[in-house]
Amino acid sequence: MQIEVKNVEGNPVNNLRRLGYSFQRHEGDEMSFIRPMAMAGYPRFHMYVKMNGADMLINIHLDVKKETYGENTRHHGEYGNDGALKEEVRRLKALLE
């Protein structure tokens, strides 16, 4: 799910920390953030953020459980606009816009 926030004021890392997200790493021109929903770390909201001038582009999904590796690498994420992800997107839009 994608969100675009126009004319972001302040540092995007600090803004997302105030909303409960932890900075993970830089991947090229994107920043990765997570917000766990449980003490075990999963499920968690995971977002990639890219700045375009003063606008913040957020690509967010819900990691249901840790990815699995082996012959077939699988990412266990939800990308649809329903359930917990829909509510989190609504919360982010209300607080960031």
pLDDT in tens, the chain (97 residues): 899 999 988 898 999 999 999 999 998 999 999 999 988 888 999 999 999 999 999 999 988 877 655 565 555 566 667 788 899 999 999 988 7
Cis ω before 36 (30° cut-off from 0): no
Pairwise CA distance, residues 75 & 84, whole Å: 18
Q: What is the pLDDT of residue 64?
A: 83
A 10 A CB-CB count for 22 gives 13
Cβ(71)–Cβ(84) below 8 Å? no
Q: What is the pLDDT of residue 67?
A: 64
